[in-house]
A and B are shown apart, each in its own frame.
Chain A
Amino acid sequence: MSLTLPVAPGRRLRLDVRTALVCLVLALLSLAIGLVSLCWGSGWDPPGDVLAALRGEGPIQISVTQWRMPRIVAALVFGVALGLAGAIFQNLTRNPLGAPDIIGLDAGAYTGVLLVFTLTAASEATIMLAALAGGLSAALVVYLLSSGTGFSGLRLVVIGIGVQAILTAVNSWIILRAELDVAIAASVWQAGSLNGLDWVDIDTPVTVIAVLTVALVLLARPLHQAALGDDLAITSGVRLERLRVLLVLLGVGLSATVTAVAGPIVFIALAAPQIGRRLAGAAGVPLLPAALAGALLLTGSDLLSQWILAPTVMPVGVVTTGVGGLYLLWLLTKEIRR
């Protein structure tokens, strides 16, 4: 069922009611988890104290506004970015396994980060650029190795998994060869973690993600049209070659930005778009449900990571790996049987 909204004289936007409801519920759940996380520090703080802290009063004010808040904003925004990146690549490859964390793009971004870490004096900007360069290089390698089949299909995914394995080995090797202090920092980070992020760490990445998201909104229509297959996409007016380049840039940009700040947080990009798609019952892999499912998964995993071994905080990547690993196994068996 769909709803139409007048946007200009005689022009209407069509909204799918179920998709809209699913998005609303996902957004509310993410916010609710965000609020619960706000109350969770070294132990449980009553919501009253937290509200007071948000107004700038009370003993836990610093910890709520300066420590917990940026972490929750990061979880929401990074979750959105990972969900979108996953949806981009799943649409491009027309395969539910085509996600940046499976086909080696996140591992490539992380290689870039490790290289600047060990070779030069790392700054926020160089780390970000290195992550982007690493992710794009990995994308290029995967594309070239699978060329001839276009950008779609299981073949590209399988090659991507191979590239991922090689890059993961390279990453371990770099860490082993590095100075001790660099190695310790890098290996903690390798798990993917939001621990200790504060406002200055996240303002640039959040801005970058916002800009990339706006660009993606403008490409959403051709992205979905391209799901009709190369032939009909082109004859219905999509500039497919250009679209693909732009989408790879956006997808790598979104996931590499997260990797640069938080390390590779795996499985969100893989699982969120499919969860969003199934809940919304929509055609193809829709973007908004993917983004919101990503936010929900990451905020949820982050809360779990603080809570499972409390007071010790686990890297959130450990939680997403545990949950996502099972999902990946299920998906792989299903895909290969097809």
Chain B
Amino acid sequence: MNRLRAQGLGLGYGDRLVVEGLDLEVPTGAFTAIIGPNACGKSTLLRSLVRLQPVREGRVELDGRRLAEWKGKEVAKELGFLPQSSTAPEGIRVEGLVRRGRYAHQSVLGSWSPADEVAVAEAMQAAGVAELAHRLLSELSGGQRQRVWIAMVLAQQTPILLLDEPTTFLDIAHQYELLRLLHGLVAAGRTVVAVLHDLNQACRFADHLVAMREGCVIARGTPVEVITAETVQRVFGMAAVVVPDPVTGTPMVVPER
């Protein structure tokens, strides 16, 4: 059974519902990509899966138990989250920030176990920020900063990772590096959910696609099932042809003029 799921989800701000009656199964051990136009509710949905967005209707469950019934630290050992944008305390250095990812694993006084040290070192290595360890976060480029945040979430070592547009700010090489990293995590048994804007990347790396529009799921399934000229038209309102990716054979979207 899938660990993380939502049923009849209603989410909103003020008196406006942004997502209504949404059902979602996050396949355990797979890479799920959420795609859809700006403001369709991707971030809102993702945030509801990590308890950041109040659930108006329906429920979000982890292991069959409502998320709201879980203890904060217990959830934090299962679900890791990277917001679309974040703020850091003034004067923090890269390593210091990555260490904050270990919060849920530490005791009250915050002593460090060998497992903590290994997790921090591995996370910095994996995200490619090991050489930046002693730099001030405020003195890094946008892309470097993004990778530090990713390292922090990796240090949390959660079986399920939810990332809101993790490739923003990254150059094309780093984008692919990150996607390969996530793909590797999935191959090692972890579950990844990411909001992605690049459909071709989503098709290459994701096992499962969820296409949203105006708060509803329009299509879901494997990239081949979901990415057709017709769905692209329906979801993004854009005419495109879909051809096989010359490298991987996965669907590739080429916009029409």
Contact = CB atoms under 8 A, between A and B. Distances in A.
Interface stretch (A28-36, A230-238, A296-304, A311-319): A230-238
B89 A283 contact: yes
A277 B91 CA distance: 9
A13 B117 CA distance: 12
Contact of A236 (B96, B104, B109, B113): B104
A227 interface: yes
Given A221-B103, A225-B100, A238-B72, A284 B86 contact: no
A224 interface: yes
A20 B92 CA distance: 17
Given A225-B103, A284-B89, A284-B92, A235 B81 contact: yes
A228 B86 contact: yes
B81 A231 contact: yes
A284 B90 contact: yes
Contacts of B88: 227-228, 283
Interface in B113-144: 113-114
A228 B51 contact: no
A331 interface: no
A95 to B, nearest CB: 11
Nearest to B74: A237
A11 B91 contact: no
Contacts, number: 91
A139 to B, nearest CB: 23
Given A224-B89, A234-B72, A237-B75, A11 B113 contact: yes
B172 interface: no
Contacts of A284: 89-92
Given A218-B108, A221-B108, A228 B75 contact: no
Given A234-B52, A236-B100, A236-B103, A10 B113 contact: yes
B80 interface: yes
A8 interface: yes
A163 to B, nearest CB: 26
Interface in B71-113: 72-73, 75-77, 79-81, 83, 86-93, 96-97, 100-101, 103-104, 106-113
A231 B48 CA distance: 11
Contacts of B93: 283
Q: How large is the interface on A (under 10, 10 to 19, 20 to 34, 35 or more residues)?
A: 20 to 34
Contacts of B47: 231
Interface residues of B, number: 38
A231 B92 CA distance: 18
A286 to B, nearest CB: 10
A13 B81 contact: no
B89 A221 contact: no
A227 B111 CA distance: 19
A228 B99 CA distance: 12
A221 B106 contact: yes
Contacts of A227: 88-89
Contacts of B76: 235-237
A234 to B, nearest CB: 6
B150 interface: no
B191 interface: no
Interface string A124-146: 00000000000000000000000
A236 B101 contact: yes
A13 B111 contact: yes
Max chain B C-beta neighbours (<10 A), residue from A94, A218, A228: A228
Contact of B83 (A7, A14, A231): A231
Contacts of B96: 283
B250 interface: no
Contacts of B109: 7, 13, 221
Q: Which 4 A-B pairs have the closest CB atoms?
A: A237-B76, A283-B92, A284-B89, A237-B104
29 contacts: A4-B112, A10-B113, A10-B114, A11-B113, A12-B111, A13-B112, A218-B108, A224-B89, A225-B100, A227-B89, A228-B86, A231-B83, A231-B86, A232-B100, A234-B50, A234-B52, A235-B50, A235-B75, A236-B103, A237-B73, A237-B75, A237-B76, A237-B104, A239-B72, A281-B91, A282-B91, A283-B88, A283-B91, A283-B97
Interface of A: 4, 7-8, 10-14, 94, 218, 221, 224-225, 227-232, 234-239, 277, 281-284
Interface of B: 47, 50-52, 72-73, 75-77, 79-81, 83, 86-93, 96-97, 100-101, 103-104, 106-114, 152, 156
Given A229-B86, A234-B52, A239-B72, 7 more contacts: A227-B88, A228-B89, A228-B100, A236-B100, A238-B72, A281-B91, A284-B89
